[in-house]
Structure 1
Amino acid sequence: MQTISQRTLTDIMRYHGITVFIYTIHYPFFATACDPAAAQSINMFYELQARQTEAYCRNELYAQAVDQVKYARKNQFPFHNYEFISVYKVTYNEDCVTSLYTDQYSYLGGAHGNTIRDSQTWDFSTGKQIRLPDFFPNNPKFTDFIFTGIQQQIEEQIKTDSAEYFDDFPSLIRGNFNLNGFYVHPNGIVIYYQQYDIAPYVRGIPEFFFPFQDCSFNT
């Protein structure tokens, strides 16, 4: 098990005394007995990712916010400050394996904000990521198994709780599938899709659970 602490980059950015943009970026810092060099490499991964995100916030998103406040002033429209929040959640942390996802929420005006999810599963004995195919080493057609399972779960959800999905979700779960769109849970694997990939905004980020006993990988 890895020891995890949190680091944060944050700022309140103003234009002529008006708060126009606020960003907060949380990211993890790991310590491990598995391989300290691996932890150092993984920490560099998240440090670089956080710094790149901060640069994007300070340069591109702040400039967009300034343009919007100028437009609002000129046309006497109300202005709501832009916001960017990046938070991570550790979903599995046992032995030398840690899995986590990061949700990046941005509000850039309009009716509501949007969230984009990213995830990694690490082997701290090597410093390398564990990929989705690694969970199905004896099944080269594992994506067919996943698509069938997701479609069955959606159909069951629609029957039981009137879940909202796009009418063409059977083709969308295949067309918008991302091999990196997963994280590890103590009892299995969770496959997820981004907002709007297969369902309306109200559905959020759709998630689909596959127990370990349905896979061949032993964590």
Structure 2
Amino acid sequence: MRKSLILVSLISILIASLCIPLNSVEAATKVKTTVHNYKGQQYIQLSGGNKTITAKINKTLKNHAVIAAKWDSENKKDSKDYYHKTTVKTMYNDNGKISIVHIDSSYTGGVHGLYFSTTYNYDLNTGKRIKLGDVVNTEDKVYNLFIAVSNDLLAKSKKGRAIFEENIYDIPLDANSKFYFYKNGIVIRFDPYDVAPFSEGFVDVFVNNLTLNKPVNITIPEPVIPQPVVPSYDVIESQINDDFEGYDEGNLYELSNGQIWKQVDYKYSYRYSYRPEVIIYREGSRYYMHVEDMDDAVEVVRIK
């Protein structure tokens, strides 16, 4: 009975966070991908398709390697044993969409390094970066996704994988969760510690399109949505740790307090400054960053 109540409550919360309308047309655009290196850091570049769209996507993809190289250099200044490394792979390139996944590893002391992934999904016809909420955009799909992921984690647990029991029903998913397209479906990507200990590495859950799109003949009661679990701070005042070159979706901003925040807004604005002051504040369950002398703020999520 308790698990059933948890399911209903969490599904209702996911519906509120994931149901984002999507109006797009499937495109026939397909591009070629090649792996490049920037100071030892991998990144992918696209060729073909709409030149303007391809150039925009390529800039974001290369920026990942540029930032990785910067972190690697800074880590090595502290110790010759420290490092930061990124590798990349094209996971999907069909039906006018592309999915590229970076895996970053960083070691700055301790028993083991830090590992995390970044998923880049794009509509090649529009250049729009696709979030999970753009794909899982109806109540039925939210319900189907939740049940499919829960069942998969339970099955993995029964086969001996060390899945955190509480996360089988309390799944860390929202509209910005990591995923990538795959043949006939999507894959939800969980980083180490998301739903399992470090020893389990990345946990991937495949959800096929038939499962995701099947009609659901149930009535979900009106949810009583609790306050989201968010960090204890509401406002952070700090400064960019080095050069700042404006806003761009996917940018990573390292602050002088050691935190790293990632821009999730599809917003671009160029302005150069050195170590500008920043204010990060919370509105509801979302965080926004305003950089000194910029005209507006952008939505960010903390990754470190």
Q: Same fold per TM (> 0.5)?
A: yes
Answer yes or no: is the 8 Å Cα contact 2:186–2:207 preserved in 1.
yes
Answer yes or no: is the 8 Å Cα contact 2:76–2:83 preserved in 1.
no
Q: Secondary structure at the match of 2:41?
A: strand
Please say if 1:210 is aligned against 2:239.
no
Deviation, structure 1 residue 95: 4.1
Superposed CA offset, 1:90-110 (max 9, x none): 111114211111000122333
CA RMSD in angstroms, aligned pairs only: 2.1
Please say if 1:32 is aligned against 2:61.
no
Please say if 1:165 is aligned against 2:163.
yes
Superposed CA offset, 1:147-185 (max 9, x none): 2221111212222x21111232235523x6562310011
Match of 1:140 in 2: 139
Superposed CA offset, 1:55-93 (max 9, x none): 23223x123326xxxxxxxxxxxxxx2232201111111
Greater fraction helix: 1
Answer yes or no: is the 8 Å Cα contact 2:102–2:119 preserved in 1.
yes
Match of 1:63 in 2: 77
Answer yes or no: is the 8 Å Cα contact 1:172–1:197 preserved in 2.
no
Q: Secondary structure at the match of 2:69?
A: helix
Q: Which runs of 5+ in 2 are unaligned?
A: 1-29, 214-304
Answer yes or no: is the 8 Å Cα contact 1:82–1:108 preserved in 2.
yes
Q: Distance in 2 between matches of 1:179 and 1:142?
A: 15
**Counterpart code for 2:199:** V
Identity among equivalent pairs (%): 21
CA spacing shift, 1:101–1:147, aligned 2, 3 Å? same
Q: Secondary structure at the match of 1:52?
A: helix
Q: Distance in 2 between matches of 1:57 and 1:116?
A: 15
Q: 1:6 aligns with which of 35, 45, 61?
A: 35
Q: Secondary structure at the match of 2:109?
A: coil
Answer yes or no: is the 8 Å Cα contact 1:39–1:127 preserved in 2.
yes
- Return the TM-score normalized by structure 2: 0.55
Superposed CA offset, 1:165-210 (max 9, x none): 1232235523x65623100111210001111111111111111110
**Counterpart code for 2:136:** F
Q: Which runs of 5+ in 1 are unaligned?
A: 11-23, 67-80
Q: Distance in 1 between matches of 2:154 and 2:212?
A: 22
Match of 1:121 in 2: 121
Q: Distance in 2 between matches of 1:172 and 1:215?
A: 19
Deviation, structure 1 residue 141: 5.9
Q: Which has the higher contact order (CA 8 A, sep 6+)?
A: 1
Answer yes or no: is the 8 Å Cα contact 2:131–2:175 preserved in 1.
no
**Counterpart code for 2:60:** F
Match of 2:100 in 1: 100
**Counterpart code for 1:123:** D
Q: Distance in 2 between matches of 1:53 and 1:112?
A: 18
Please say if 1:88 is aligned against 2:93.
no
Answer yes or no: is the 8 Å Cα contact 1:119–1:180 preserved in 2.
no
Match of 1:184 in 2: 181
Match of 1:73 in 2: none
**Counterpart code for 1:92:** Y
Answer yes or no: is the 8 Å Cα contact 2:192–2:203 preserved in 1.
yes
Q: Secondary structure at the match of 1:166?
A: coil
Matched pairs, number: 184
Answer yes or no: is the 8 Å Cα contact 2:65–2:86 preserved in 1.
no
